[in-house]
Amino acid sequence: MKVLNLDQIESASRKLVLNGVEYAVPPMSVENFITTTRRADEMEKSGATLTDQIEAAIDMIVRSIPSIKRGAVEKLPLEYLEKIVTFIRDDSPEEQVKDEKDNKEENAAKN
């Protein structure tokens, strides 16, 4: 008998660090993907404004990172929103995302 045990599969651990606080970034759920995709489709059809698009990005971030407060996201520089959304989707260019080993080596070099 073949068994696919999803409990044994380790998903990649990712985190977002903002103002010294680490936020776990779980893999995007199917539910979140559907919600995000539907919202994007609706905005495309309706000719959404830039404000609508920014609010949708904030909604997606808050849905994707349950421990982050909406107010913290709303206070970020606008350019950070795209970087966070890209990171959540796991589309981040390697030069923007360092793994934990790289961060420890960088911190050791500074000290």
For 64-95, how does the pLDDT look when each residue is reduced to its tens digit (9 = 90+)? 999 999 999 999 999 999 999 999 887 654 54
How sure is the predictor about 107, in pLDDT bands with cuts at 50, 70 and 90? low
Identify the top-confidence range among 17-21, 25-29, 87-91. 17-21
In the chain, where the domains are located: 12-88
State the pLDDT at residue 28. 84
Contact 106, 99 (CB under 8 A): no
- Four-residue CA torsion sign, 47, 85, 62, 20: negative
Does 30 have pLDDT greater than 60? yes
Does 98 have pLDDT greater than 90? no
- Return the percentage of the chain with pLDDT > 70, whole number: 79
| pLDDT, averaged across the chain | 83
**Residues 11, 72: Cα–Cα separation, whole Å:** 26
Contact 2, 52 (CB under 8 A): no
